[in-house]
């Protein structure tokens, strides 16, 4: 086996270790945010009379979900970089990727669709609790985020 081939194999092995770390980080963060979102939604639904408290919970939910979306984007970029630069050189992984029809469905749902739909839910709650003007500002923010995500997904 050539020296270059050994170095390449070592790089792939290191990439796998990094990928496993990033994947564990992604799973842990996703679990944390799903539990946090569930608790916030439960708190929001449970409170019936205090409009200011409900609005505070909705704003906190919006901030949490936006952070979740941002961190998912960063982790997805790291995982894509490792996959494209190193892991596709691994013949077994390359064959696995070829067999999967829709390569990004699960990641797309957990990283983008779920947080964006939760942001829309929090936006709806904020709209119901406040006036239309705040909703327009929030809606424009969501539109910008979704447009940015769509462009990033198109590039890849």
Mean of pLDDT values over 85-113: 72
Identify which has the larger pLDDT, 52 or 7: 52
Other beta carbons less than 10 A from residue 148's beta carbon? 11
Mean of pLDDT values over 19-23: 82
Its pTM stands at 0.72
Identify which has the larger pLDDT, 117 or 80: 117
**pLDDT in the model for residue 32:** 92
Whole-number mean pLDDT of the chain?
A: 78
Q: Of 109, 46, 105, 37, which Cα lies nearest the Cα of 66?
A: 37
pLDDT at 65 over 50: yes
Other beta carbons less than 10 A from residue 110's beta carbon? 16
């Amino acid at each position: 086996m050539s020296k270059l081939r050994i170095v390449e194999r070592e790089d792939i092995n290191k990439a796998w270790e990094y990928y496993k770390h990033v994947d564990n980080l992604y799973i842990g963060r996703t679990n944390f945010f799903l539990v946090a979102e569930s608790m916030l939604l439960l708190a929001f639904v449970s409170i019936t009379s205090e409009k200011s408290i409900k609005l505070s919970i909705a704003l906190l939910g919006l901030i949490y979900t936006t952070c979740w979306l941002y961190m998912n984007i960063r982790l997805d970029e790291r995982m894509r970089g490792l996959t494209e630069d190193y892991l596709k050189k691994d013949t077994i992984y390359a064959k696995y990727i070829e067999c999967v029809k829709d390569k990004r469905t699960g990641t797309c749902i957990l990283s983008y669709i779920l947080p964006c739909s939760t942001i829309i839910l929090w936006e709806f709650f904020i709209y119901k609790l406040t006036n239309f003007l705040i909703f327009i500002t929030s809606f424009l923010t969501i539109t910008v985020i979704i447009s940015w995500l769509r462009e990033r997904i198109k590039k890849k």
